[in-house]
């Protein structure tokens, strides 16, 4: 009798897991992780943003200078702009206090403004690699026009500052969760794909950039990972019980893993 009951339970479990596979892991406690519950490491290895290959064909050696002795752009650098970002202007600025890149927390070498068709380079970015990346943001010969690739990050950075306020940040976390979710999704699917395009543009021009085994740039994949983490945290703050049932990470660690760590300590 016990063996029969065990077989029934096993069969029910197998059926439940099969359905869970069909619905992409959305059933609580199923065999497959839900999209929200998949680990940050998985999201880094296999980011879900679309990839478009830039049509850059002009090749410039990575060691080539971009300015002449008088501070004007070299013919190669100007030619690159004229070909892929017509009428764009380049401005050289000192590093602004507190300016830092989202990925790696390193000071930025430059940025592009698609609205003004302007590129700003700091002393850290006065090289052809940085210039090529920023031109990629302004390139018009593409499926989707650029909006700078920073919308999601602006949302996340703003809410991060609120979350960091002692006591108040924790109290406001549930209310901020929908905004964090929007910022996470925008970072995952808009910012990450935009930076991916710029990094691929850079690679086509100079051969530069860092890319993983799946041929996604470390920059784009890192942004996708950051957005995924923010989305997971937002879901956990908005609906903690469903988040636990779906094993959604909070702070990058899944509830099931936290329990396992506790068991090991005991």
The pLDDT tens digits of the residues spanning 74-112 come to 999 999 999 999 999 999 887 655 444 433 334 568 889
76 phi/psi in degrees, rounded to 5: -65, -45
Token pair in block for residue 42: 């998985």
pLDDT value, residue 147: 63
Q: Work out the burial of residue 263: count CB atoms within 10 Å of its CB; fewer than 13 is exposed, 13-18 middle, 19 or more buried.
A: exposed
pLDDT tens, position by position, 1-59: 667 677 767 887 788 888 888 887 778 777 777 777 888 888 888 899 989 999 888 99
Q: In what order do the strands lie in the sheet with 118-121?
A: 89-92, 118-121, 110-113
Q: Which helix (H) or strand (E) holds 154?
A: helix 151-163
Q: What is the pLDDT of residues 227-239, one digit of tens each?
A: 999 999 999 999 9
Q: Write down the mean pLDDT value for the chain.
A: 85
Is this structure's pTM higher than 0.85? no
């Amino acid at each position: 009798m016990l063996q029969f009951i065990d077989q029934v339970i096993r069969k029910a479990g197998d059926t439940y897991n099969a359905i869970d596979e069909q619905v992409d892991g959305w059933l609580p406690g199923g065999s497959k992780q839900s999209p929200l519950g998949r680990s940050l490491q998985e999201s880094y290895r296999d980011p879900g943003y679309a990839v478009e290959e830039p049509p850059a064909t002009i090749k410039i050696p990575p060691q080539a200078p971009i300015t002449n002795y008088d501070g004007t752009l070299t013919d190669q650098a100007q030619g690159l702009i004229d070909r892929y970002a017509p009428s764009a202007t380049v401005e050289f600025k000192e590093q602004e206090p507190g300016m830092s890149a989202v990925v790696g927390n390193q000071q930025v070498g430059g940025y592009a403004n698609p609205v003004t068709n302007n590129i700003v380079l700091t002393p850290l970015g006065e090289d052809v690699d940085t210039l090529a990346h920023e031109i990629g943001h302004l390139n018009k010969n593409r499926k989707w026009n650029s909006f700078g690739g920073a919308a999601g990050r602006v949302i996340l950075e703003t809410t991060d500052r609120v979350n960091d306020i002692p006591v108040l940040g924790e109290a406001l976390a549930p209310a901020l969760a929908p905004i964090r979710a929007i910022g996470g999704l925008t970072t995952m699917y808009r910012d990450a794909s935009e930076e991916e395009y710029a990094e691929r543009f850079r690679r086509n021009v100079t051969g530069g950039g860092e890319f993983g085994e799946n041929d996604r740039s470390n920059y784009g994949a890192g942004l996708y990972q950051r957005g995924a983490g923010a989305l997971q945290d937002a879901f956990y703050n908005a609906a903690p019980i469903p988040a636990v049932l779906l094993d959604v990470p909070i702070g990058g660690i899944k509830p099931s893993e936290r329990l396992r760590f506790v068991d090991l300590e005991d």
